[in-house]
Amino acid sequence: MRPDGRRPDQIRVPQITPGFIRYAEGSVLWRAGDSVVLCNASFDDKTAPFLRGSGEGWVTAEYAMLPRATDTRGDRRPSGRSQEIQRLIGRALRAAVRRDRMGERSIIVDCDVLQADGSTRTASVSGGWVALVLALARLHEQGVMPEWPLAAQVAAVAVGLVGGEARADLDYGEDFDCDVDLNLVYTAGGRLVEIQGTAEGRPFTRGELEAVLEVGWVGAQQVLAAQREVVAPRLDELGLSFPLDR
Amino acid sequence: MRPDGRRPDQIRVPQITPGFIRYAEGSVLWRAGDSVVLCNASFDDKTAPFLRGSGEGWVTAEYAMLPRATDTRGDRRPSGRSQEIQRLIGRALRAAVRRDRMGERSIIVDCDVLQADGSTRTASVSGGWVALVLALARLHEQGVMPEWPLAAQVAAVAVGLVGGEARADLDYGEDFDCDVDLNLVYTAGGRLVEIQGTAEGRPFTRGELEAVLEVGWVGAQQVLAAQREVVAPRLDELGLSFPLDR
Amino acid sequence: MRPDGRRPDQIRVPQITPGFIRYAEGSVLWRAGDSVVLCNASFDDKTAPFLRGSGEGWVTAEYAMLPRATDTRGDRRPSGRSQEIQRLIGRALRAAVRRDRMGERSIIVDCDVLQADGSTRTASVSGGWVALVLALARLHEQGVMPEWPLAAQVAAVAVGLVGGEARADLDYGEDFDCDVDLNLVYTAGGRLVEIQGTAEGRPFTRGELEAVLEVGWVGAQQVLAAQREVVAPRLDELGLSFPLDR
Amino acid sequence: MRPDGRRPDQIRVPQITPGFIRYAEGSVLWRAGDSVVLCNASFDDKTAPFLRGSGEGWVTAEYAMLPRATDTRGDRRPSGRSQEIQRLIGRALRAAVRRDRMGERSIIVDCDVLQADGSTRTASVSGGWVALVLALARLHEQGVMPEWPLAAQVAAVAVGLVGGEARADLDYGEDFDCDVDLNLVYTAGGRLVEIQGTAEGRPFTRGELEAVLEVGWVGAQQVLAAQREVVAPRLDELGLSFPLDR
Amino acid sequence: MRPDGRRPDQIRVPQITPGFIRYAEGSVLWRAGDSVVLCNASFDDKTAPFLRGSGEGWVTAEYAMLPRATDTRGDRRPSGRSQEIQRLIGRALRAAVRRDRMGERSIIVDCDVLQADGSTRTASVSGGWVALVLALARLHEQGVMPEWPLAAQVAAVAVGLVGGEARADLDYGEDFDCDVDLNLVYTAGGRLVEIQGTAEGRPFTRGELEAVLEVGWVGAQQVLAAQREVVAPRLDELGLSFPLDR
Amino acid sequence: MRPDGRRPDQIRVPQITPGFIRYAEGSVLWRAGDSVVLCNASFDDKTAPFLRGSGEGWVTAEYAMLPRATDTRGDRRPSGRSQEIQRLIGRALRAAVRRDRMGERSIIVDCDVLQADGSTRTASVSGGWVALVLALARLHEQGVMPEWPLAAQVAAVAVGLVGGEARADLDYGEDFDCDVDLNLVYTAGGRLVEIQGTAEGRPFTRGELEAVLEVGWVGAQQVLAAQREVVAPRLDELGLSFPLDR
């Protein structure tokens, strides 16, 4: 039995507030339990320096925690942990677009954790995807990005092994007790975009990895559904189809 | 007539959400129109280095904007503007406490602007004061700060001269047009804690300063009332009196 | 009675050495009592990045203390205090020029405190104005800045409340004892360009602010006269009139 | 057929030069094809700050590339990529020790890439483990670390999907063409310590992940054997058994 | 014939203003032609970290140029050139003291170039020595440094080869034309403390080095005499003998 | 008698491995006793910023130690010592080329110390020269640098005074005991490119300097011969003559 009564494969259903910030091309407040992440997608009229002349666009991410997002106050300097996480988010979101259709333009997705109660990096990927799509929709509507570049729906879920049991979307208390912690990024078609798992305390077997992937996919589907509820009406409005298959 | 129909001395009434973040000793989401500032007050068991051995405590502040708080995305590096503003906030909040009653302890108040539509530094002072008092109340209740150190209620208001007229609590559009921009920090007793005004475009006369101070005090009283509504019940609960006179 | 026998509204008369550094377009050593500030104005052939294409110029300032300008040695890293002060100097000096007449060019005024005995930020504004005008004069003479952009004479004075009495141009010892410390930047016409006052110890009343402004203007007139003595002959030489009225 | 004629599950057999640097407690030059990494393990008499008083030790890693390790010269500033990689190395090596047996001491493992031809992060983990064990052996021999803390043999292998085929230990040319790139860290007992895989170009299926894991474990066994050849005689010398089972 | 009519072995006689800054334990304004360096020696109650427990003291230096010390404005960030120069100054000044007599205390000598017209690093060494001795004298007088640690008089001179002729104390114009530039630090006894010479343009022969050393020693004696004039009366006052022989 | 049995003027004969890194235009592993330096010369298609439009090229150097190159682990941040040394290397290598024949191109020589047992800065100059020439040869061969810019052979040797005796190429143990430490950079023609000597402990006489120069030149000739053995065949191959006379 989990502390808050959830089943092992049950996530904290995210409350998604689109348009939280009015300036950003795409903005979402993502709240899952007590984890609260503000995801803002901003447009930039240039692609990444190493892509100049290629005709391709770029998607990147920044991740940071407010100093008091956690139980004790941290400082504002970017940490190695932030660096690692924002690289993961960037890779995951790039998998959602066809960069050759973006033109030489960029989207930067800022994921700022206002409150952290576990699984903030997966919340950032999932919320970042919604912010990204809302931004692409606005830019497409405005004619700034004439080709529609969205290629995949992407959602992330954290799965931990606690006392041998695979559990989805750990909160901070469960995270503290778990031996193994995997972050899984899925497409709506059930493929993996990223898998990142660590077992500092106790290495895990192939069998345990299987169990984690089972629970992860069940959890991811719940996230995918929550995203779809917010994003689908907006795409409908623009006559764009929802990416389902990849 | 102001763009949003306000009278010259009318502020945007702040919506104050106490306890927005559950970890911080004191936390407030301060929303005035489209300006949204998250103020979190954190306890530290040490005083400032230059006060070691003095028996006195310290209150300091940090101010930052999320990259997309504004119309165009900024970067995360601390700017000179942030430095200047956080020093102002720190001075204003220190005026609210008797540091000799804090013991050798600190409160650091983080003011993070989620969305900026003008007057964010005064919102940070006013919201920071609420966060500070909520933190002091919790620490007093827990016995960590046995003497009650609150000495004054402190609220800030920005006043601009737009076409010769003094207006309280400018939003971004009005701020852009104004010649002179003053930030006023008042106590509940009507005294000034800080006055900071700049006239890059057109120097101002003593008469104009008088008009600004008139409008400022009318505006400040509205802020003071909004703060009191949130803070007074909490102080009542602890049998502490509300500071009114200083 | 003040420690050095001055009347409350009497400043330390500045000794102004123009041309202290021969390379700078404008250079002044400003000595007021034991405060010594070297102000050098340098020309740059570009305007600020955000003004490119606007046809307008820019004036900015940097402020720093030599490590041993003070009683105990400080380090060379720029502090938050320096940032705050150099922003004040920059705003004050920009109020002295018509930037639309500068063309897309910049003046940067370096204010380096060699020795600090109170009121160094106001010394920097006042000395910086002299260095700025000397630089503009040289550039105008050389044909680099064909339109004469000087719009106002600008001088600053610090006023403190010590035991209820308003005193102009505090030295370090008086500054230490004062409750309230205001920095006032005036034009020759008696208008205010900047007012910045802080009362960490004891908030001040409107009446006290009035008294401060009285003393401030008396003090500022002494500074304005000292500046004029150095600058007027140079402007005469070039057939330029001295700005008096704004 | 792979460019250099290897079978899909065949790694480039590492040449391991122990004692390459004579000062370091443990030192190894790890050369696999044209990838050359110098791994030096250094002793520090203190544990990590957050473990003070816990009785536990710490193992951490730093990863850097010499500027000309790659085809074009890079600069020396630490990158986000380095941060991400050194965190991976640190986690993998901590899984190899029982930190409760180290006492409040640290080992820091520097992995400096002299030449990069693909798979340098896995080379760093595998070579770092050898350097770590050599350091622990020396410290144990000297009586500095009386309890023997080695808990597991840890080796890493990179596996890529190139045109649907899983291949172990990609060189730079193959890496460039691959869709999916996974880094796998195994214990000698076949358990996983870390799995980290990215599919920017094309998400991968559960079936493809299975194939990667198959090839990965075959490759890892070759690395484990190469490590053992270097380390086992040294442990024999000290009468310590080789960790096989975990 | 040199541009300013000096003989090849003739230096610009320094004007030395002791006590330029009143706070520093030792302070000197050193002016040689248009090169102006402010040298301030500050006391610190601790020795260098690596000397803790050794009973020995430390002397170190910092060197910086004000942004407009030169013909075009530089920025304030410390450069590699500053680093190199301040290390030279520190070594030279350490050769002047017996650190075993200082106790675990430090002197830090700040050399700030207000105006640069060649040979500022040698001016910094020579002026820094005067500031150092004045600081030691004050500390000895106050009983802070009971043993008198001064061991040697140290003076520096720059010598350049211009068109084959060795010339002492080059100004900026001559420095620009010279092939070889040597900085020589001498004791009063004619021994060398540091020699540092560079020939980017044209390597120099042993014979040329001899000529440089001849001219250097003639120039150094002029500097030594100028230093003595300022320092000897102060040492007399304290009954301390002037170091001549080393 | 020296600890390792060498005569006073005998250097540790360097083992020079050309082509150690395959990517760099010029690469050399320089090993002299236990000092090991990797010197890589990289081509850049631009000259230094201050030479744009001059038609001239640039040669510069970077010097760093791996954290565990020394007996105790250092950190990776560039130190003042590194700055000083890399400036020396850069000057020495620039003396080896005619920059007017390079065109507006640069060579940057990275000297990374893998293991430090004394005299690493002179090893960096001597090894850096070989890497530089190998790079120039490759670029000349490829037609990138059509004029052959090599002007001189440059080699460095460190000489110390140990107990009054001048000794070439000190190792770390001897370096620790020596009073005076000189670094000498010679051309093959016996001229000096750089002389840099420090006597923190005991100033040295002209006579001692003579002795140092005698020993230095004997040592330098051994280095020059070792360089020639590696470089001459390569220049022969390209029909280029070896620079001997300058």
Mention every residue, 6+ apart, whose C-beta is less than 8 A from residue E111: E37, E38, E39, E61, E62, E63, E64, E86, E89, E124, E127, E128
Residue F130 burial by CB count (10 A; 0-12/13-18/19+): exposed, middle or buried?
Answer: buried
| Residue numbers of chain B with a pLDDT score lower than 50 | none
Q: Mind telling me how many Å the CA of B189 is from chain A's nearest CA?
A: 32
pLDDT score recorded for residue C163: 85
Q: Which chain C residues are closer than 8 Å to E78 by Cβ?
A: 76
Do the bridges between strand B58-65 and strand B106-115 make them parallel or antiparallel, or are there none, so unpaired?
parallel
pLDDT bin (cut points 50, 70, 90) of residue F197 is very high
Q: How many secondary structure helices (H) and strands (E) does chain F include?
A: 4, 9
Contact E68 C21 (CB under 8 A): yes
Strands (E), A19-105: 26-32, 35-44, 58-65
How many beta carbons lie within 10 A of that of residue F241, not counting itself? Answer: 10
In this model, does residue A63 exceed pLDDT 90?
yes
- The residue in chain B having the minimum alpha-carbon distance to the alpha carbon of residue C209 is B192
- Sequence-distant (6+) residues with CB within 8 A of B72 are none
pLDDT, averaged across chain E:
95
List, for residues D42-58, the tens digit of each pLDDT value. Answer: 999 999 999 999 999 99
Question: Which residues of chain F have a CB within 8 Å of the CB of D34?
Answer: 22
Which pLDDT does position E39 carry in this prediction? 98
Indicate yes or no: CB of F196 within 8 angstroms of CB of E191: no
**Are B and F touching by the rule of 3+ CB pairs within 8 Å?**
no
- Measured between beta carbons, which residues in chain D are less than 8 angstroms from residue A161? none
pLDDT at F244 over 80: no
Asked if A112 lies within 8 A of B66 by C-beta distance, the reply is yes
Looking at residue A246, its pLDDT comes to 62
Per-residue pLDDT of chain E (246 residues; tens, 9 = 90+): 898 999 999 999 999 999 999 999 999 999 999 999 999 999 999 999 999 999 999 999 999 999 999 999 999 999 999 999 999 999 999 999 999 999 999 999 999 999 999 999 999 999 999 999 999 999 999 999 999 999 999 999 999 999 889 999 999 988 888 889 999 999 999 999 999 999 877 899 999 999 999 999 999 999 999 999 999 999 999 999 887 666
User: Which range, of A84-98, C19-33, F165-179, averages the lowest pLDDT?
Assistant: F165-179
From CA F109, how far away is CA E226, in angstroms rounded?
44
Q: Which of D151, D224, D150, D149 is nearest to D184 (CA)?
A: D224
Percent of chain D with pLDDT over 70: 98
User: Measured between CA atoms, how close is C195 to chain B, in angstroms?
Assistant: 5
Contact F44 D73 (CB under 8 A): yes
Contacts of C56 in chain B (CB under 8 A): none
Q: Higher-confidence residue: A245 or C112?
A: C112
Identity of the residue in F21, F70, F73 whose CB atom sits nearest the CB atom of D68: F21
Mean pLDDT of D111-137: 98
Residue B57, amino acid: G
Q: What CA–CA distances, in Å, run from E123 to E114, E209, E226?
A: 12, 21, 12
Evaluate if residue D201 carries a pLDDT over 80: no
> Could you tell me how far CA B216 lies from the centroid of its own chain?
14
Model confidence pLDDT, tens digit, residues E72-116: 999 999 999 999 999 999 999 999 999 999 999 999 999 999 999
Chain E residue with the nearest C-alpha to that of C61? E67
D212 falls in which pLDDT band (50, 70, 90)?
A: very high
**How confident is the model at residue E201, as a pLDDT?**
77
Amino acid at B65: M
> Which residue ranges of chain C lie beneath pLDDT 50?
none
Query: Mean of the pLDDT values across residues A215-221?
Result: 97
Phi, psi for residue A11 in degrees, rounded to 5: -90, 170
Find the angle CA(C41)-CA(C46)-CA(C52) to the nearest 5 degrees: 135
Give contacts of A66 with chain B, Cβ < 8 Å: 38, 40, 110, 112
Q: Tell me how far apart the alpha carbons of residues D218 and C100 are, in angstroms, rounded to a whole number.
A: 73
- pTM of the predicted model over 0.80: yes
At residue F245, the pLDDT reads 65
Reported residue count of chain F is: 246
What is the C-alpha to C-alpha distance for residues C27 and C109, in angstroms, rounded to an integer?
9
| C-alpha Rg value of chain F to the nearest Å | 18
Question: Mean pLDDT, to the nearest integer, of F13-31?
Answer: 97
Instruction: Return the bridge partners of E110, or none.
Output: E40, E62
Q: Give the model's pLDDT for residue B175.
A: 85
Cβ contact E114–C21 (<8 Å):
yes
| Candidate from D83, D198, D246 with C-beta closest to A84 | D83
Angle ∠(C36,C41,C42) on CA atoms, nearest 5: 140
Q: What is the chain B residue with the closest CA to C154?
A: B203
Looking at chain F, which runs of residues are DSSP E strands? 15-18, 26-32, 35-44, 58-65, 106-115, 154-162, 165-168, 180-187, 192-198
Contact E73 C27 (CB under 8 A): no
Query: Considering only CB atoms, which residues of chain E are within 8 Å of chain F?
Result: 80-81, 83-84, 86-87, 91, 94-95, 152, 182, 186-187, 189-201, 203-206, 209, 213, 246
- Of the candidates C126, C93, C115, the residue with the CA atom closest to the CA atom of residue C219: C126
Distance from CA of D91 to the nearest CA of F (A): 20
Question: How far is B34 from A24, CA to CA, in rounded Å?
Answer: 13
Give yes or no for residue D175 having a pLDDT over 90: no
| Per-residue b or e along A74-109, where b marks 16 or more CB atoms closer than 10 Å to that residue's CB | eeeebeeebbbbbbbbbbbbbbbbebebbbbbbbbb
ipTM of predicted complex: 0.95
- D5-20 pLDDT, tens digit per residue, is 999 999 999 999 999 9
Other Cβ atoms within 10 Å of C238 Cβ, number: 12
Residue D179 neighbours by CB under 8 Å, 6+ apart: D160, D161, D162, D199, D201, D202, D204
Per 3-state DSSP, chain E is made up of helix, strand and coil in percentages (nearest 5) of: 35, 30, 40
Percent of chain B with pLDDT over 70: 98
Residues of F with CB under 8 A from a CB of E: 80-81, 83-84, 86-87, 91, 94-95, 152, 182, 186-187, 189-201, 203-206, 209, 213, 246
Q: Which residues in chain C are contacts of B63 at CB distance < 8 A?
A: none
Structure tokens at D226: 């190469």
The reported pLDDT for the residue numbered E246 is 63
Question: How much of chain D exceeds pLDDT 90, in percent?
Answer: 90
Which residues of F are less than 8 Å from D67 in CB distance? 40, 42, 62, 110
Locate B58 and state its tokens.
């310290």
Distance of CA B92 to the CA centre of its chain: 7
For residue B198, the distance in angstroms to the closest alpha carbon of chain C comes to 5
Chain D residues lying within 8 Å of A83, measured CB to CB:
80, 83-84
CA distance D75 to F108: 11
Tallying the residues shown for chain D, one arrives at: 246
Q: What residue has token string 């100059």?
A: F125
Amino acid at D188: A
Return mean pLDDT, chain D: 95
